[in-house]
Structure 1
Amino acid sequence: MKARNKFLLGGVLVVSTASYLMASSIDETATYYLTPTELASKVSENPRFVKNGVKIGARVVSGTIVREPSGRSVAFKMTDGTKTYDVKHTGIVPDTFTDGVDVVVEGRLDANGTFQSTILLAKCASRYENAPDKYPDTPGYKPGMPATPRA
């Protein structure tokens, strides 16, 4: 066998092995989350599904966020526009968590229909805007400059 053919055969073997490993790992690393409507249909099909751990993607209903004084838990409602669930989250709450934000929560649906969350992920804003100019009439103020000089 010529050296060129050995090189081509080795290249094909390496590329095919890498392709197989990439394709097989997609199923293992893909993370899928349910919507509240999909969760409701799964629970109605199989009532034992209630205690299973799942991820749910939805939007926080505006005006429903209730924070505990300790700061370690929060209660709110999430919806996909069709089905709404109460959520009780215990743990760290992201800074981007506000009314109307898209969230992914991970946890279990309890027997009362409340989703007990242990992981809460909030979508970041798609764009950030500059803070409004508070002091445009101050002498020497230039837009985009800090209000107080830095040392």
Structure 2
Amino acid sequence: MNKRAKNRLIGVTAIILIAVAAIFFGLGGEQAAYYKSVQEIATDTALQGERVKVGGLVIAGTWDKKSNPMSFDIRDENDAQGTGPSVQVVYNGAVPATFGDGVTAILTGEMGTDGTLNADEMITKCPSKYESATGAMPIGDLIGKGESMVGTTVKATGFVKRGTIVAPGSGVRFVVTSTETGGPEIGVAYEGALPSGMVDSSKLVLTGAIEADGTFVATNVALDEAQK
């Protein structure tokens, strides 16, 4: 390569690097978010007006999916006793199907002057939860017992019907069937965090009771440990 060609290559490379740097810093100035804890965003007033990213546990009983925009409170994941600060989140966006009480929500948005996080992005991180199906009543048997089982807390097992998992707050959260391919089925109401890895056709172990309207209201949802 002669000297002129080499100088031209150096010049072109420099222009490309400058352009890439300009794009990177331009986007960073508008879209970058600082990852913070709930404790930090709750107490640091310097973050007001800043775009932040935070992960926290959704506090049970603080949300209503039917509100628009949706609002709920979060606290730090390591705040097991619930004695630390909480932050109210106002969220504009689609609610993930895995959202629920106790789920870890990772949110991005702008801190308001009133200490509220105005979020426009949310993803959820679900806990791994497995349970033995030993002693659990097959859903088909439970349905077959009819009204005699209404209000009785039981441990039951069944399979997630394809395409039925939805976000909480809609009544029935998903439907379970007696076999992987179908059979008798029942709608399950549940407001908690769905176990990580729960998908269509997953075999579940449920704890709860059938209500008078025929809905199974679950207090716990886990994957069959045989699926590990």
Aligned to 1:19: none
> Measured at CA, do residues 32 and 54 of structure 1 come closer, stay the same or move farther in structure 2, by a change above 3 Å?
closer
Q: Which of residues 87, 90, 97 in structure 1 aligns to 2:89?
A: 87
Gaps of 5+ in 2: 1-32, 145-177, 185-228
Q: Do 2:34 and 2:53's aligned partners in 1 also have CA atoms closer than 8 Å?
A: yes
Q: Do 2:58 and 2:72's aligned partners in 1 also have CA atoms closer than 8 Å?
A: yes
Aligned to 1:9: none
Q: Do 1:73 and 1:93's aligned partners in 2 also have CA atoms closer than 8 Å?
A: no
Aligned to 1:105: 107
Gaps of 5+ in 1: 1-30
User: How far off its partner does 1:123 sit?
Assistant: 1.1
**TM-score, length-normalised on structure 2?**
0.41
> Measured at CA, do residues 92 and 145 of structure 1 come closer, stay the same or move farther in structure 2, by a change above 3 Å?
closer
> Measured at CA, do residues 84 and 39 of structure 1 come closer, stay the same or move farther in structure 2, by a change above 3 Å?
same
User: How far off its partner does 1:68 sit?
Assistant: 2.9
State the percentage of identical aligned residues.
28
Higher fraction of strand: 2
Q: Which of residues 61, 64, 85 in structure 1 aligns to 2:62?
A: 64
Aligned mates of 2:87, 2:130 — CA distance in 1: 30
The DSSP-based 3-state class of the residue aligned with 2:44 is: helix
**TM-score, length-normalised on structure 1?**
0.60
Residues 42-87 of structure 1 show CA distances to partners (whole Å, capped at 9, x for unaligned) of: 32xx3xx201101011100011111235xx6311000113110111
Higher fraction of helix: 1
User: How far off its partner does 1:144 sit?
Assistant: 4.8
The ranges of structure 1 where at least 4 consecutive aligned residues each deviate by more than 3 angstroms after the TM superposition are 127-132, 143-147
Q: How many residues align?
A: 110
